[in-house]
Amino acid sequence: MRRWLAPLILVLMVLPGLGCAKLRNKPVKAVPEGTVLFAFNRKVRGPVELTLDGVRVPVAPVAKNKAARSLVVTGIAPGKHRFFLSSPRDAFGPDQGDFEVTAGQGTRVFTFVQAFNAVLYGKSEELPAAEGIPGVKARLER
């Protein structure tokens, strides 16, 4: 066997293990009742706009210079709900859809995120304050 072939075979055997990274898409812990957890595949800096059943819900930001891996929405009544996610810095997939909250357990929605700067020059327009749904709170979490 040639001298250069042995190191090449060793490198080829190690590369598949280094290239395959696990995606954080399995639940770490159970989601509490009346809660929806939007789990992101990468970090989101915010701000994030959430619309639930046609009503904008205010989203509490994460600490300055920090990024969030999930959006937690609490106080949701059981049943089927429609959501829409948007942000001037990130693109979500799916950005809209349905989820169902059943009695006794929470719901987890896995969402793909891609960095996207919608504002190229200047500052983004300030949106009016979100009305919110009584009892429903949303926050970005690390």
Percent helix, percent strand, percent coil in the chain, to nearest 5: 10, 40, 50
Confidence of residue 6 (pLDDT cuts 50, 70, 90): confident
Residue 102, in any domain of the structure: yes
For residue 57, give the CATH number of its domain: 2.60.40
Instruction: Give the span between the Cα atoms of 103 and 113, in whole angstroms.
Output: 29
Confidence of residue 125 (pLDDT cuts 50, 70, 90): confident
Residue 5, in any domain of the structure: no
Q: Into how many domains does the chain fold?
A: 1
User: Which tens digit of pLDDT belongs to each residue from 74-89?
Assistant: 999 999 999 999 988 8
Residue 16, in any domain of the structure: no
Residue 68, in any domain of the structure: yes
Confidence of residue 97 (pLDDT cuts 50, 70, 90): very high
Which has more pLDDT, 127 or 35? 35
What confidence score (pLDDT) does residue 22 get?
A: 57
Residue 112, in any domain of the structure: yes
Within 8 A by CB and 6+ apart from 61, the residues are: 46, 47, 140
Residue 14, in any domain of the structure: no
User: Which tens digit of pLDDT belongs to each residue from 41-74?
Assistant: 999 987 899 999 999 999 998 888 889 999 999 9
In terms of DSSP bridges, do strands 35-44 and 107-115 run parallel, antiparallel, or are they unpaired? parallel
Instruction: Give the span between the Cα atoms of 83 and 77, in whole angstroms.
Output: 14
Residue 15, in any domain of the structure: no
pTM: 0.77
Confidence of residue 120 (pLDDT cuts 50, 70, 90): low
Burial class (CB in 10 A: 0-12, 13-18, 19+), 73: buried
Residue 66, in any domain of the structure: yes
Name residue, tokens 């950005």. 95
Q: Which domain range does residue 134 map to? A: 22-141
